[in-house]
Amino acid sequence: MGRHVTFVLQTAQEGFGHAVYCAREAVGGEPFLLMLGDHIYRSGSDTTCASQLLEAYQRHGQSLVGLRRTPEDQIGSFGTVTGVWLEGESLLGISAFAEKPTPDYARTNLRVPGFPEGEYLTLFGQYIVKPKLFDYLKEHIENNVREHGEFQLTSTLDRLRQEDGFMGLVMNGRRFDIGRPEEYLETLVAFRH
């Protein structure tokens, strides 16, 4: 397994953006698949969630994030996006990222075309990102640009979107956030068989 997996330590808890930045040398100058370590992913088809993203990246060559439909009362816990549909209601050209928005902000700025009121697109926890992201994270770290006391990822994703474009793929699957006690219990139930 050691030939296929590389572990990188984040020696200080400085935020999600900082954790990703710690992996820059291991990633090298290549686009990379980022999956949250406190999530478990289950596909709704024979194609894994990661493979769904990889296929879309290979078709379009643009940084990409997995998305899921989320009710308004939950968006305060997730990064949220909006944009324009490129392929049905599955592939979105992202026009804005917001980290854990309030419902009022989302109603004004994050509505998704064709979605009912009170429903939004939030981040699924899987990304394929071009390595230019590391340059933006480095700027934030060197200039001590923090959000809520930490180096965040969402604002650097938005900068990458502005300079190179960014797409979102509505995933055919489910993600279980085992870092949240109520979802950990749901995960145990879902995977019991």
Q: Is 125 left (phi over 0), alpha (psi -120 to 50) or beta?
A: left
Instruction: From residue 109, give the alpha-carbon distance in Å to each of 10, 38, 83, 160.
Output: 34, 29, 10, 19
Query: pLDDT value at position 156?
Result: 95
Query: pLDDT value at position 1?
Result: 54
Mean pLDDT to the nearest integer, 12-25:
95
Query: pLDDT value at position 96?
Result: 96
Query: pLDDT value at position 118?
Result: 96
Mean pLDDT to the nearest integer, 39-44:
93
Three-state SS at 62: coil
- Phi, psi at residue 44, to the nearest 5°? -95, 10
d(CA 61, CA 55): 10
Task: Give the rounded percent of residues in the chain with a pLDDT score beyond 90.
Answer: 81
Task: Give the rounded percent of residues in the chain with a pLDDT score beyond 70.
Answer: 99
Query: pLDDT value at position 64?
Result: 97
Amino acid at 139: E
Query: pLDDT value at position 190?
Result: 86
Mean pLDDT to the nearest integer, 175-189:
85
pLDDT at 59 over 80: yes
Query: pLDDT value at position 148?
Result: 86
pLDDT at 4 over 80: no
pLDDT, averaged across the chain: 93
pLDDT at 6 over 90: no
Categorize the per-residue pLDDT at 2 as very low, low, confident or very high, splitting at 50, 70 and 90.
Answer: low
Query: pLDDT value at position 70?
Result: 97
pTM: 0.91
Instruction: From residue 193, give the alpha-carbon distance in Å to each of 7, 46, 91, 158, 184.
Output: 30, 18, 32, 40, 16
pLDDT 10s digits, 78-134: 999 999 999 999 999 999 999 899 999 999 999 999 999 999 999 999 999 999 999
